[in-house]
Amino acid sequence: MKERVTICEVGPRDGLQIAKTRMTTDDKIAWIQSLAAAGIPEIEVGSFVPPRVIPQLADTAEIVSRLVPTNPQWTIQVLAPNLRGVQNAYNAGVDKIAIPVSVSEGHSMANLNRKPAQSIEMMREIMAWLKAQPRKVPLIAGASTAFGCSIDGVVTTAQTVALCKGLADAGVDEIMLADTVGYAHPAQVKEVVLATRAEIGPVLHGLHLHDTCGLGVANALAGLEVGIRAFDSCLAGLGGCPYAPGASGNVVTEDLVFMLESMGFDTGIDLDVLLASRAVLHAGLPGEAMHGQMPKAGLPPTFRRAA
């Protein structure tokens, strides 16, 4: 029996928010459907932010409204920045809501215009509202800059653990440790994961990694080795952060899944179908550079496909 690792594809949100060109709603739906066809179990399909903030994601409500009635077998996740976004996401019928908060004050002010402590206060209100609703929609908090910040520099393990403790106490269902700017190294990943888990237990869910310095996949391996079984990633390594200068793309879904499946983990993802999804992405966003090493070489002849 293979052990499960859950991939959440965040390309349609994190990957598109800093794209230089716009992807049409139809193209986004086609891309999301092709990702789902590959067996990706969770897809972050957009963000309920005001359209003026991230115009590329202004059609999130329409995307959700078109996907929900299809009752997909996969989890429709969206990002929401605040209570209003959470309410909109809930009312749209999503399966899961992600909220970014920042460990570092500099990123928190630049990205969210509030201090980390205010994020925890906000999260209490959000959880109170969510728990009062008839439908259970899990909330996953993303602890941004958990491993370093392009504005504040070093972020200590103690800072990250303290924010995660505050989030857990506020009642969030899951927490992702996010290497928003891609400064983490494997020893740090292990240290922060272990320290955070020691404080909040299984509320620590997974890792959101970027490949800024080429360590994205190695950091995922480090996380795996200390028991992490959930990762965010982006097809073709799209993405970045508009408020984190120098941050490059997310860890590449194709390379990460190739590693996981090669090592004997079960992601439920068919890599051949996933590779085909690149063409759908490219058709909808032809100007964007596509990353990933395995897709260039193709699956090696030694790779054993799941039965």
Residues of this chain that bind a second copy (CB under 8 A): 148, 150, 153-155, 181-183, 185-188, 211-215, 217-218, 220-222, 225, 246-248, 252, 254-255, 258-259, 262-264, 292-294, 296-298, 300-303
CA dist list (Å): 197 to 44, 46, 186, 217: 24, 29, 16, 21
Name the minimum Å distance from CB 150 to a second copy: 7
Beta bridge partners of 206: 176
Name the minimum Å distance from CB 307 to a second copy: 17
Name which of 50 and 245 has its Cβ closer to a second copy: 245
Q: Give the count of alpha carbons within 13 A of 225, CB side only.
A: 13
Name the minimum Å distance from CB 237 to a second copy: 9
Name which of 90 and 183 has its Cβ closer to a second copy: 183
Q: Residue 303, SS3?
A: coil
Name the minimum Å distance from CB 284 to a second copy: 23
Residues 150, 162: Cα–Cα separation, whole Å: 20
- What is the helix (H) or strand (E) element at residue 30, kind and residue range? helix 25-37
Name which of 48 and 183 has its Cβ closer to a second copy: 183
Residues 230, 248: Cα–Cα separation, whole Å: 21
| DSSP assignment letter at 234 | B
Nearest to 33 by CA among 79, 66, 80: 66
Catalytic center residues: 241
Contacts of 251 (CB under 8 A, 6+ apart): 209, 210, 211, 216, 217, 219, 220, 231, 232, 233, 234, 237
Name the minimum Å distance from CB 5 to a second copy: 13
CA dist list (Å): 70 to 7, 26, 65, 74, 111: 21, 15, 10, 11, 34
Name the minimum Å distance from CB 83 to a second copy: 33
Name which of 3 and 125 has its Cβ closer to a second copy: 3
Name which of 128 and 263 has its Cβ closer to a second copy: 263
Phi and psi, residue 126, nearest 5°: -65, -45
Name which of 95 and 255 has its Cβ closer to a second copy: 255
Q: Which token pair is 61?
A: 């409500």
